[in-house]
Chains A and B, each alone.
Chain A
Amino acid sequence: MSQLVPIPAPTAVPARRGVISKVVHDPLGVISLVALLLIVLATVLAAVLAPQDPARSSLDDIFAPISAAHPLGGDSAGRDLLSRLLYGAQVSLLGATIALLASLVIGLPAGLIAGYYGRTFDSVSSWASNLLQALPAIIVLLALRTVFGPSIWTSMVIFGVILAPGAYRLVRATVSGVRNELYIDAALVSGLSDTRIIARHMLRVVRGPLIMHSAMVLAICINIQAGLEFLGFGDPQTASWGSMLNEGFLNIFQAPQMLFWPGLALFLTSAALALVASSLRDALQAGAAKPVRRRSVKAPPAGNGAVPSDALLSVRDLRVAYSGGSVEVVHGVSLDVAHGEVVGLVGESGSGKTQVALSVLDLLPTGGQVTSGAIALAGEPLLGRSASFLRTVRGHRIGYIPQEPLSNLDPSFRIGNQLSEVVRVHLGLSRAAARDRVLDLLARVGIPDPARTYRAFPHEISGGMAQRVLIAGAVSCDPELLIADEPTTALDVTVQADILDLLRDLQQEKGLGVLFVTHDFGVVADICDRVLVMRQGEIVEDGPAEAIFDTPQHDYTRSLLGSMLDGRPARLARVKATGDGRA
């Protein structure tokens, strides 16, 4: 309904090579492009294709039935419907193009300037674009018709102005997204003028998203123009889809079929444009969320019988793969964590250590799946278990401490709310009891004013405090096992030491088994009993912490330790001095 359906703006992606080839290889893209081409061809060749002059009327042909002479029949004045449909397309496409050009002439430069320079111009034009969108477009068109006259073309220029904020916002967002990229800095440093940079770099970046946007705008314009003509604001002499619908409406009792063809033409043209836009969008944002079936069926857990039951956590020959099993990132990892033992899983980023940790919780990212292996908690298999069973394990028997403190707290809920929810679910506590328990926990993890933090939103506390909150959340239901995924990596060095102290204290106090994922041997030295070194999805070294530090067997371990030597002399010195991983 001529609704300005918000067009999802693509994230700022530099126009890549191959966008066209991607569109051409997308079947929907091809079909819609061909359809669009046919519509344009039919429009251009209207004079050749039309059976007769669209304005010629004949008394014999009033409401003429479908015949060879009139493939779609005749209208109330005995004019040929097919001819009017073909000539009407010219009006629609021309009007839409006029509106599109008007919107681009205003929106593109304004967006470039606002996105590139920002500041005053940005806020003024953003305000103006808000104003333009405050009224229903059709009301503005009706009001301004009394000012600027009844021409449909004038109305389409005005409509283009009304739509300009869309182009403006898109260009502005795209440009300001790229504005701070290094290659723009480099261009500035090398002395290119702003004009050159805008012309060379910014226009290129904007091009793809803007073409996509334009296709959507054309569709909107075609519909609103037909709407205006339908209301009787077009040129009554000229054949157009909107005026044909108006005639159909006036004769809805005698000839309702007259409503069908012009509406279908409108719908097909808009749909083709929208499909081209959507195909372009997919090509521009390769990583966009497309409809995919989420795989819920896991490979049957193999070799569960071989899992020893004395370990707290046992992982056997675990394999994790992405893209439907075609890309394997963990190639048969086995490990054990005994009750009260702290096991470090060490490796550089991309070594698969986090994948192992998340597999235990059955929380691999979308697309990832365990393809084979076995995981057991205190002898009880975890793989392939029901969602409700896993819910009783997660949070209750296994606590999870994530890496980034702030992104792991729900920004919309108060901290106390997020923590008490967990203890209420698992321990069945009342609201008041849950609150008391959470306040105790917050105090236990070293938060100075638990009551204040309980009421706070995540954005009101520091990263170090947030990590303490997450630790409180992980241990809130007294789990047996803690999975800590780089819990100190995102923190300042001074805070890191405090958090490690806290984790060590909690571990000893509660006798927790811990699987400690990290890339940092300094952290390993501080807290771990045993160390597993992971590389490219495999465990390359496994042993007591002190043994790994004193006599690393694998070249990779030595190079990891060596890199720590460069970056962390003080801590290594401490490791060497105590000759022991644990303080």
Chain B
Amino acid sequence: MLAFLTKRIGAGLSVLLVVPSLTFLLMFGNAANAARQILGESATPEQVAAKSAELGVNRPLYVQFVDYVGQLFVGDLGRSWFTAEPIGSLLASRATVTLTVVIGSILVSTLLAFALGIAAALRRGALDIALQVLAIVGFAVPGFWLALLLVSNLALQLRLFPATGFVAFTASPGQWLASITLPIVALMVGAVAGVAQQVRGSVIDVLEQDYVRTLRARGLPSWRVVAHVLRNASAPALTVVALTFIGTLSGAVFVERIFALPGLGLAATNAAVNGDVPVIMGVVLVMTTIVVLVNLVVDLAIGLLNPKVRLS
């Protein structure tokens, strides 16, 4: 298990090193005329040069990189080029919003998807056909369109939920729940469809295994057989949950814009519109860290469930 964990942590670290580094080199390597963009066409060359020096983009790329990495170690993600806000504190509050919505959606959708997938695999028939339909619909329906329909119908027409904004849990648990319900529902549909389909497939695969017949031949009650099946089927399903998590982070970018949730995705969208490179860089860094951590948790869960994985 230790060797397995070391290997997975190593893989995670390599992603954490390479992805943000590449992003940094690509983005800052291209930021030479950032000052001109910020100041506009009317600025004098002197003003542009002064702004470049202020942003630090006139230095050689490797110096900027070493400087950035050095600052990271003291927890400094730099400042926004436009608002001069420190990015670390800006993203900390935003990560809370994004993670609330994304983790909420993943938890609810995973529970639902396992229930649906297991039921469809065990019962087949009409429920199974319904799941196939859901799989196609969930895959094909653009999540942001779904979010738009939810806002337009449930929030604006029927006024069942707030259309925009995020309320902190500490401020009001009830309003907090109301503010995240529609975003979570919008993010969930695709996730449920994808994961349920995988759960169904793996459960059916495991049900065909010889050892399940042998377990039945020993006269175990159904729930005990299902427990065996589930433990064996959950590894591939959890792998899909990890992938779905990344997809849900993508989805959060749209959902945050539609529901005006001050999360990482909205920060990235606004920064991309302005060309606020350090903010996007910060979002990339934070999101890569989140993804690596989630993958590690999922790997750990798979390792605990499946002893063979621990060895390979």
Query: Chain A residues in contact with chain B, CB under 8 A?
Result: 1-6, 8, 127, 130-131, 133-139, 142-147, 216, 219, 223, 226-227, 230-233, 245, 248-249, 252-253, 256, 259, 263, 266-268, 270-271, 273-275, 278, 289, 291-294, 358, 361, 363, 365-366, 387, 390-396, 398, 400, 402, 404, 407-413, 418, 421-422, 425-426, 457, 459, 470, 473
Contact = CB atoms under 8 A, between A and B. Distances in A.
Contact of B156 (A130, A252, A263, A361): A252
Contact of B250 (A1, A146, A263, A411): A1
A146 B139 contact: no
* Most chain B CB neighbours (cut-off 10 Å) among A1, A252, A394: A1
B19 A227 contact: no
Given A230-B144, A256-B156, A413-B228, A396 B219 contact: yes
Nearest to A473: B218
B141 to A, nearest CB: 5
21 contacts: A1-B144, A1-B146, A2-B254, A133-B243, A134-B246, A139-B250, A139-B253, A142-B268, A146-B275, A219-B140, A230-B254, A256-B156, A267-B141, A274-B140, A291-B129, A294-B123, A394-B216, A408-B214, A410-B231, A411-B308, A422-B218
Contacts of A422: 218-220
B18 A131 contact: yes
A139 B18 CA distance: 16
Given A130-B15, A135-B284, A135-B291, 18 more contacts: A3-B247, A127-B14, A142-B280, A232-B273, A271-B136, A294-B124, A363-B216, A365-B208, A391-B221, A395-B217, A396-B219, A400-B214, A412-B231, A412-B232, A412-B306, A413-B231, A425-B221, A473-B214
Does more than half of chain A's interface fall in helix, strand or loop, or is it mixed?
A: helix
A275 B136 contact: yes
A136 B254 CA distance: 12
Interface stretch (B55-63, B67-75, B173-181, B184-192): B184-192
A425 B152 contact: no
B136 A274 contact: yes
Given A1-B187, A139-B253, A230-B254, A410 B15 contact: no
Interface string B243-268: 11011111101110110000001001
Contact of B254 (A227, A294, A400, A408): A227
Interface in B15-50: 15, 18-19, 23, 26-27, 29-31
B140 A3 contact: no
B163 to A, nearest CB: 8
A428 to B, nearest CB: 13
Contact of B277 (A131, A146, A253, A293): A146
Contacts of B296: none
B143 A366 contact: no
Contacts of A233: 272
Nearest to A137: B250
Contacts of B280: 142-143, 146
Contact of B272 (A3, A146, A263, A457): A146
Given A131-B15, A252-B151, A400 B218 contact: yes
Contact of A134 (B129, B291, B308): B291
Interface residues of B, number: 98
B125 A1 contact: no
Given A134-B19, A259-B148, A8 B136 contact: no
A391 B220 contact: yes
A6 B208 contact: no
A5 B190 contact: yes
Contacts of B117: none
B143 A1 contact: yes
B64 interface: no
A289 B244 contact: no
Given A291-B132, A410-B228, A411-B232, A146 B217 contact: no
A407 B211 contact: yes
B77 interface: no
Given A1-B251, A2-B247, A139-B268, A387 B145 contact: no
B197 interface: yes
B238 to A, nearest CB: 12
Nearest to A425: B220
B219 A394 contact: yes
